[in-house]
Chains A and B, each alone.
Chain A
Amino acid sequence: MRAVVFADVGRVEVADVEAPVIERPTDAIVRVTRTAICGSDLHFLHGKAPIERGSVLGHEAVGVVESVGDDVTGVRPGDRVVVSFHIACGSCWFCRRGQTALCDDHAILGAGPFGGDLPGAQAERVRVPFAETNLLAIPDAVDDERALFVGDVLTTGIYAASLAAVTPDETAAVVGLGPVGSCIVQALFALGARTVFGIDVDPARRTVAPAAGAIPVDAARENPQMVLARATDDRGADVVIEAVGTPAAYETSVDLVRRGGRVVVVGMFAGEVAELQLGVYWARALDVRFAGLCPTHSYWRRTMALLAEGRLDPSPIVSHRLSLEEAARGYELFDRRAATKVLLEP
Chain B
Amino acid sequence: MPTFPTDGWFQAFIELINRSAEYRTAAADWEGDIAFLVQAEPDIRVPDDVWGYLDLWHGGCRGGGVVDAGTGERAAYVLSAPYTRWKDILLGELDPIKGMMQGKLKVRGDLPTIVRYVRAANELVRLTGEVDTVFPDEG
- Interface majority SS on A: helix, strand, loop or mixed? mixed
Tell me if A67 is interfacial: C-beta within 8 Å of chain B.
no
Q: Is B41 an interface residue (CB 8 A)?
A: yes
Which of B39, B41, B104, B111 is in CB contact (< 8 Å) with A277?
Answer: B111
A41 on interface, CB distance cutoff 8 Å: no
In A307-330, the 8 Å CB interface with B consists of: none
Is A48 in contact with chain B by the CB < 8 A criterion? no
How many residues of chain A are within 8 Å of chain B by beta carbon?
Answer: 18
Residues of B within 8 A of A275 (CB): 108
Q: Does A257 contact B (CB under 8 A)?
A: yes
How many B residues touch A, CB cutoff 8 Å? 17
Give 1 or 0 for each of A218-234: 1 = CB within 8 Å of chain B CB: 00111101100100000
CB-CB under 8 A for A226 and B102, given A221-B42, A221-B43, A277-B111: no
Query: What is the minimal beta-carbon distance from A119 to any residue of chain B, in angstroms?
Result: 46
Most chain B CB within 10 A, of A226, A277, A284, is at A226
Check A283–B101 contact: CB distance below 8 A.
yes
Asked if B101 contacts A284 (CB within 8 A), the reply is yes
The chain A residue with its CB closest to the CB of B81 is A225
> Contact at B111–A254, with CB atoms within 8 Å?
no
B89 located at the interface, meaning its Cβ lies under 8 Å from any Cβ of chain A in the complex: no
Complex contact A223–B103 (CB within 8 A): no
Q: Mark B98-131, 1 if CB is under 8 A from A, else 0.
A: 0011111011100100000000000000000000
Q: Does A226 contact B41, Cβ atoms closer than 8 Å?
A: yes
> B42–A255 contact, CB under 8 A?
no
Q: Which residues of A contact B84 (CB under 8 A)?
A: 223, 226, 229
Q: Does A280 make an interface contact (CB < 8 A)? A: yes
A149 to B: closest C-beta gap in Å: 34
Interface residues of chain A, those whose CB is within 8 Å of chain B, are: 220-223, 225-226, 229, 236, 254-255, 257, 259, 275, 277, 279-280, 283-284
- 5 A-B pairs with CB atoms under 8 Å apart are A222-B41, A225-B82, A255-B103, A257-B103, A259-B103
Top 7 nearest A-B pairs (CB, nearest first) are A223-B41, A223-B82, A283-B101, A222-B43, A221-B42, A226-B82, A226-B84
